[in-house]
Amino acid sequence: MIKSIETILADVPTIRPHKLSVTTMSTQTLVLVRVRCEDGVEGWGEATTIGGLNYGEESPESIKTNIDTHIAPLLVGMEASQVAKAMARLRKAIQGNRFAKCAIETALLDAQARRLGIPLSELLGGRVRDQLPVAWTLASGDTAKDIAEAEKMLELRRHRIFKLKIGARAVADDVSHVLAIKRALGDAVSIRVDVNQAWNELQAIEAISALEAGGVDLIEQPVPAHHKAAMARLAQRFSVPLMADEALQGPLSAYDYATSAAADVFAVKITQSGGLVQAGQVATVAQLAGVALYGGTMLEGGVGTAASAHLFATFADLSFGTELFGPLLLTEEVLQEPLVYKDFMLQVPAGHGLGVAIDTDKLGRLRRH
């Protein structure tokens, strides 16, 4: 039985300012959910989002309030091992709240996998890989700093895929910034851009033409998510792959985008999808429609990153890699043993459940009271 559900907010500074088109982050608020079961098993989940309400309709504070006030009372007392039944009750009674639902489902699945003595990936269909390529986001906004940062990552053998956050400046300035970095780093690395919906269609045509000619490998969400027809026209016009991100909010939106040929690649995010199971359905829709896959992040800490890694390890296709670098952007670690990044890859945890353990002393110091 589910004995209790606790929601914890922890404010962790980032190693440097992280600039998006919608906000600049200097602190990330981790939203952690702890489910305690009557048999003594615990499970952990994460519902971390980006930039408060700048990015989406859920904030750390709203997630905590809704879990504590509305979600936990629905689930406490239910059979903890019947995860699908618990989530069905939750989805019937609670509208929206995808991030909160993801954290709850992750915690229940973590507990059940621990109960069974298996890695979480085995509850999701079974892993086909034990390590995942990881992109690093260059988001200082300063060309020279970004080049130096990328060169350091290459030297450390940590990343050779780089995604540039653009969209906050004039289109010509952003294009010049990206192409200068591409020229400096050369063809040994993959350079991609994330526009976070900042352009209109005419701006996107101008920018993508230049970026494609300059050797950029991927363009993420250049126009607003609701401009699906514009995304489709851009995807058909250019050979450089276009990726949907903010447009994907679960399997139904994935199906809509896939049947409209509105993207070449899907960024799968467990929280945006409403949970691990529905994120897996997003991937299935993509694969059936011939859309390539990329493992996305909401800049989660170790718990959410581990959960995402377990799911992405089950994908038959992961041709554009992942961006599961969230813990590396934070100055503090909440896990007893950090996730392992080496040789440009994240090692998928092999232990029971998520395969990670929370450092409760450190979390106690970081948590918001």
Q: Order across the sheet with 161-165: list the strands.
A: 136-138, 161-165, 190-194, 218-220, 242-244, 265-268, 292-295
Q: Torsion-angle region of residue 87: left (phi > 0), alpha (psi -120 to 50) or beta?
A: alpha
Q: Catalytic residue among 165, 182, 228, 269, which?
A: 165
CA distances from 285 to 57, 190, 220, 253, 298 (A): 25, 26, 19, 10, 21
Tokens of 317: 């296709």
Residue 216 tokens read as: 């950029």
Phi, psi of 157 (to 5 degrees): 55, 40
Radius of gyration of the chain (CA): 20
Question: Could you confirm whether 165 is annotated as catalytic?
Answer: yes
Which residues are catalytically annotated? Answer: 165
